[in-house]
Structures are given as structure tokens and as C-alpha cells.
């Protein structure tokens, strides 16, 4: 399930040629904007992914975080922010991810998640975040 008002568009945050997820209407706190299935990779496959372009689009998966998951839908297109306006939830039992609004989002704004899982977590990520 992806809200019909979400669009993929060029983003300043996504680096040169990068894209992000934007909304065509205002969104309130608590709004679920996306629920999408994930493809789960074994730990061995995860190590191989580190050598590919996909590494930047997968999430650590499982209680031990030794697996990886590629989220379908738009989830892998959300850019990172240390003050994200959305957060994600992982459902390991059903292999699903959910994106929910945690701060009001105006029409036309980009939706961000914090790659550290908590919307305001300031821990350094694996790339130079602006």
C-alpha cells in the first residue's frame, strides 16, 4: 500500500542525480504512507551485497541484524535526515516495512527517514550526511 499522493522526484538530498519521495498533499502526524513487502537476503548474501550498488538500498534485517532486506515499493527511495519527518517499522514475522509520519509534512515537501531507525537519532551513518 502506497498513498497515491506520493511521488518520486529529483532531490537535492539524494546527491547528484538523486531522487526522493515527495507528497502532493499535506500529511498529518500518525499517517501511514506506505506498507511494503521486503525481499530478505541471508547473511552470506548480505556480505555479497556490500560489493554492489544495492548495498545503499538495503536495510539490516532481523533481531540480530545479520540479514538484509530490500524494501519494495518506494521505501528504498526515502532519503536520510537526522531530523526525519517519517519513521519506519520493521515486521520481521511478515517481511513488511511501514512508513509513518512523525512530524507534519507540507504539500510538496520531501519525506525523510533516519537510517538509524529512530527519527531523531544522531548516530553517524555510513556516508557523509548533510
Looking up residue 22, the CATH number of its domain turns out to be 2.170.270.10
| Cell numbers linked to 127 | 556516508
Q: Is residue 46 part of a domain?
A: yes
How many domains is the chain partitioned into structurally? 1
Please check the confidence at residue 22 and state whether its pLDDT lies above 80: yes
Q: Is residue 64 part of a domain?
A: yes
Q: Is residue 130 part of a domain?
A: no
More confident residue, 117 or 4: 4
Q: Is residue 94 part of a domain?
A: yes
Mean pLDDT of the chain: 90
DSSP track, 55-95: GGGEEEESTT--EEEEE-TTGGGPEE-TT-SEEEEEETTTT
pLDDT for 30-86, tens place per residue? Answer: 999 999 999 999 999 999 998 998 988 999 999 999 999 999 999 999 998 888 999
Structural domain of residue 41, as residue ranges? 6-112
Q: Is residue 1 part of a domain?
A: no
pLDDT for 71-93, tens place per residue? Answer: 999 999 999 888 899 999 999 99
Amino acid at each position: 500500500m502506497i498513498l497515491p499522493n506520493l511521488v518520486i522526484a529529483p532531490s537535492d538530498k539524494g546527491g547528484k542525480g538523486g531522487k526522493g519521495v515527495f507528497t502532493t498533499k499535506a500529511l498529518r502526524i500518525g499517517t501511514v504512507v506506505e506498507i511494503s513487502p521486503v525481499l530478505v537476503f541471508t547473511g552470506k548474501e548480505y556480505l555479497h551485497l556490500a560489493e554492489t550498488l544495492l548495498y545503499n538500498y538495503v536495510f539490516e534485517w532481523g533481531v540480530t541484524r545479520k540479514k538484509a532486506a530490500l524494501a519494495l515499493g518506494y521505501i528504498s527511495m526515502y532519503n536520510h535526515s537526522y531530523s526525519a519527518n517519517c519513521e519506519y517499522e520493521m515486521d520481521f514475522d511478515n517481511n513488511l516495512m511501514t512508513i509513518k509520519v512523525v512530524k507534519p509534512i507540507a504539500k510538496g515537501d520531501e519525506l525523510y527517514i533516519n537510517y538509524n531507525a529512530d527519527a531523531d537519532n544522531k548516530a553517524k551513518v555510513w556516508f557523509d550526511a548533510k
